[in-house]
Amino acid sequence: MHHFTYVGSNLHCESVDLAEIARLYGTPTYVYSATTLADNYTRLANGLAGLDVQVCYAQKANANIAILRHFANLGAGFDLVSGGEIRRVLAAGADVKRSVFAGVGKTEPEIKLALENEIFAFHVESEPEIARINHVAGKLGVKAPIAIRINPDVDAKTHAKITTGKSENKFGIPLKQAGAAYEAAAKYPNIFIKGVQMHIGSQLTSVAPFVEAVTKVVPFVEELKAKYGITYFSIGGGIGIVYQDALASGQQAWWDAQPAETRPITPEAYGAALAPLLKPLGLKILLEPGRNMVGNAGVLLSRVEYLKRGEGRNFLIIDAAMNDLARPAMYDSYHEIVPLHRDTARRAFTADVVGPICESGDCFAKQRPLQEIGEGEYIAFMSAGAYGFSMASRYNTRNLAAEVLVKGGSFELINARETFEQQIANEKIPAFLKA
């Protein structure tokens, strides 16, 4: 569910006409719905009824500090994977003490920063990492709280580039080796064993892989609780969102019309399936959602530059590009594309929707059926709130897009469009080239 819908002929975010934002701030521009963000958080936090749940939003999905502050105000902690992400939480005025530090390549300065800000726990990915955390904690004279990430070797049935829970993935320690890893960790003087963690992948559309993974790991969790007195079990994130029919999915009627066997996973279905498996543990349960929190809460606005009619093929050339939204080029992912002004009197046509970058891969959709649309008009990429701006680049010396947050009938710029001067501010020509 989300708060993007047509009011009359114009696409709105909550009560704001998106064309007004496009005209005021230009394009490409990301727009996020504060109400959708809050709804997504609340539904997931309440989905595991009867359990002590801590939601740690996976910042990598969308790291704007306004969004971090919004989630912090709602009660969220954060799932962090770099020192920069720790600093973003601090810049947002949020609390690192409710956050976890994950990632396979933590550096000593990053570990030090996390410890100095009293991180809730490190999610450890390897035995050498345990030794490094112990070393840094020892120099600071503290004990570092850790949970080891278990790789349960479960196929999440998702895209190959976003699966994380199989034995060939780089993440975590295999379940068969995890017991020995915990025994080794217990011998370090500056390590405090606090929990256990797993995460099997992203954009899962069925609850079955979650159930399989939790069922597989629960006996080991019970052993850890008895032996080390762990206090929490993190089951990661990964609940998928709707990309196909994304606009319609904002309406309850669309959900009601979906056949039960193909209905997208919801926080309620997720909670109903997992709560019975988790309640007997008597532990705090951490969730680390990213895409599910922000994906359908954001759109990318773009302006049509040209309609190029080729031989048997049309090209809709827009001002957004693969540097603004990398997912289609990187994953062959689908984003629904809709006009900001819907005109049912116009005829339909088919076009490749492409950006201006000098790469054939700068293509958002091939042979996409659309309302005929022309130069100067605006379109929106739906479900673009996750891994949109956070994965953006400056390729072809293109400035980073603007970002706007909407709440009700109000909106505010939360990240101004980058300027060329800001792009090159840290570059210099050496003296030996100036002669």
pLDDT in tens, 371-403: 999 999 999 999 999 999 999 999 999 999 999
Domain 296-423: give its CATH code. 2.40.37.10
389 in Cβ contact with 64 (< 8 Å): yes
Verify whether residue 56 is a known catalytic residue: no
Could you give phi then psi for residue 179, rounded to 5 degrees? Answer: -60, -45
pLDDT for position 382: 97
pLDDT for position 253: 86
Instruction: Delimit the domains of the chain by residue range.
Output: 34-291, 296-423
| pLDDT tens, residue by residue, 46-66 | 999 899 999 999 999 999 999
Residues 215-221 have a mean pLDDT of 95
Q: Does 289 belong to an annotated binding site?
A: yes
pLDDT for position 58: 97
Q: Does 355 belong to an annotated binding site?
A: no
Q: Does 290 belong to an annotated binding site?
A: yes
CB atoms within 10 A of CB 402: 22
Confidence of residue 160 (pLDDT cuts 50, 70, 90): very low
Instruction: Name the β-bridge partners of 307.
Output: 316
pLDDT at 342 over 70: yes
List Cβ<8 Å contacts ≥24 apart for 101-109: 102/149, 102/197, 102/288, 104/129, 104/170, 104/171, 106/132, 106/133, 107/83, 108/132, 108/135, 108/136, 109/83
pLDDT at 179 over 80: yes
| pLDDT tens, residue by residue, 2-22 | 999 999 999 999 999 999 999
**Residue among 13, 56, 358, 363 flagged as catalytic:** 358
| pLDDT tens, residue by residue, 241-288 | 999 989 989 988 888 888 877 788 999 999 999 999 999 999 999 999
Q: Does 359 belong to an annotated binding site?
A: yes
Q: Which of 149-153, 309-313, 413-417 has the highest mean pLDDT?
A: 413-417
Name the average pLDDT for the chain. 93
pLDDT for position 154: 76
pLDDT at 161 over 60: no
| pLDDT tens, residue by residue, 130-155 | 999 999 999 999 999 999 999 887 76
Confidence of residue 217 (pLDDT cuts 50, 70, 90): very high
Q: Does 347 belong to an annotated binding site?
A: no
pLDDT at 364 over 70: yes
What topology does CATH give the domain 34-291?
A: TIM Barrel (3.20.20)
What is the distance between the terminal CA atoms of the chain, rounded to a whole angstrom? 61
Q: What is the pTM of this model?
A: 0.94
